[in-house]
Structure 1
Amino acid sequence: MGKKTLIFILIFGIIFLTALLAGANVYRTAMDQKESGHEQAAETAKQEAGLKQVDSVETFVGKEKQYIVTGTDKKGGKMYVWVPADKKQKTIYKKAADGITGRQASKAVQDEGLVSELKEVHLAREGNVLLWEVTYLNKDGQYSLSYVDFINGKIHKNITP
């Protein structure tokens, strides 16, 4: 192996390792930001909504950043708590039985004939309107979102880029 080849391999290896470490750092930072606030949101949900147990916390970023906490109350009933990242807004909580399910929300969107392939269904919030965010590929293969009202099951709005 010649000197030039060895130098090339060494330089390429250093560049590759640097790029790999930088990418890992960006990924870790992004995941830390996504999960920051989850513990505080869980505590807020326990205090304000009376949750006995927290099952999950998800981050929703729409017009405002929200933490969606799923858990059970003292009677064992399933509850959802929408905890805003902005402390000026109020926390809203509902029993799961007070609204529609994620499956019903996705069915409402599918019944409109919009869905080619269903991707995900998550709770969301816009102002004081509690929603299900249904993510799917539409008939044209475009990534699309529909927001379905948590209480009445009507489609709030559709977004296709």
Structure 2
Amino acid sequence: MTPSRIAERRRQSPWTGWRLSLIVLGFLVFVAVVFVVYIRSADAEYRVEERAAIAKAKQEAGLKKIDSVSKHVWDDSVWVVEGKDASNTAWFVWERQDGSVKEKVADGLSEDGIRDRFKADRPGKKIVRLLPGWFSEQPAWEIRYIDNPDSKRQAIVFYSFKDGTALKTYNLVS
């Protein structure tokens, strides 16, 4: 054979630039889809419980508009639903395994009120997280804060929802 015939019979590599780009793009799309499916499945149980808490608050507590929903876990797991009824009155509903507790927002300390109370009790401390919860068999506010800025040590304090009295403080060791 002459060299010209060999050159004619040689085939080009199947891994040309555009084919390789197409394979890499397909792999990246596959990874993205797998990631989204994983995140949705990991979060699915929480979202089902959240929707059940909202439905229960609407049905049993008569809420028409839901403003916020959060899960508080301490001694008990409690879903806290904040919303308004048909007369536009703001309510908190604490949903526990043994029943629900419904309180008007106006009858207790609001989020801003509990912030002010905390700042008066512990001036200069930075709040990391503030959420409604359940502590000592009563509705409460949980505040997680930085107790010592030098060591970044944190603490948790519980306040009564009704009157804002400090219930208990836990110092977290890091």
Letter in 1 for 2:162: I
Q: Which residue of 1 aligns with 2:66?
A: 54
Aligned residues: 140
Local SS of the residue matching 2:80? strand
1:154 equivalent in alignment to 2:162: no
Asked if 1:71 corresponds to 2:83, the answer is yes
- Could you tell me how far 1:52 is from its partner in structure 2? 1.4
Q: Which amino acid aligns with 1:108?
A: R
Task: Quickly say closer, same or farther: Cα 1:83–1:146, change in 2 above 3 A.
Answer: same
With normalisation by structure 1, the TM-score equals 0.75
Partner of 2:101: 92
Structure 2 counterparts to residues 15-54 of structure 1, below 5 A = 25=38, 28=40, 30-54=42-66
Q: Residue deviations 1:83-134, cap 9 Å, x none?
A: 12x2xx1100111001001122222222222652112211001253110111
CA 1:146–1:114: 2 relative to 1, 3 Å: farther
Letter in 1 for 2:167: H
- State which structure, 1 or 2, has the greater radius of gyration over its C-alpha atoms: 2
Counterpart contact for 1:108–1:155, Cα < 8 Å: no
Aligned residue among 135, 149, 152 for 1:126: 135
Q: Which runs of 5+ in 1 are unaligned?
A: 1-17
Q: Deviations over 1:13-67 (max 9, x none)?
A: xxxxx9xx78x94x65553343331111111111221111122211111111111
**Aligned-residue CA RMSD in angstroms?**
2.5
- 2 CA distance for matches of 1:146 and 1:153? 11
* 1:74 alignment partner, SS class: coil
Name the structure 2 match of 1:117. 126
Q: Which protein has greater RCO, CA pairs closer than 8 Å, 6+ apart?
A: 1
Give a deviation string over 1:123-150, Cα, whole Å, max 9, x none: 0012531101111111352122111100
Any conservation in 1 of the 2:63–2:85 contact (CA below 8 Å)? yes
Aligned AA for 1:160?
A: N
